[in-house]
Amino acid sequence: MSAKVVITEQCLQDIADAIRQKLNVETQYKPSEMAAAILTIGENSEVSEND
């Protein structure tokens, strides 16, 4: 099922900022790239309980 939704630019910016912070990178993400980036969080390092 595919639904059309409205999401603010600020919300997308916040998601991208969180990804960059967790991955310690400066990559610019397109919305279509964000899910894949999120899935890589913690793959190669231990994530502490405080993260």
CB atoms closer than 10 angstroms to residue 41: 15
Residues near 31 by beta carbon (within 8 Å), at least 6 away in sequence: 12
pLDDT band at 43 (very low <50, low <70, confident <90, very high): confident
CA 51/CA 3 separation, integer angstroms: 31
CA 20/CA 5 separation, integer angstroms: 24
Average pLDDT in the 3-11 region? Answer: 95
At residue 46, the pLDDT reads 54
Q: Name which residue leads in pLDDT, 48 or 35.
A: 35
Total-model pTM: 0.75
CB atoms closer than 10 angstroms to residue 16: 18
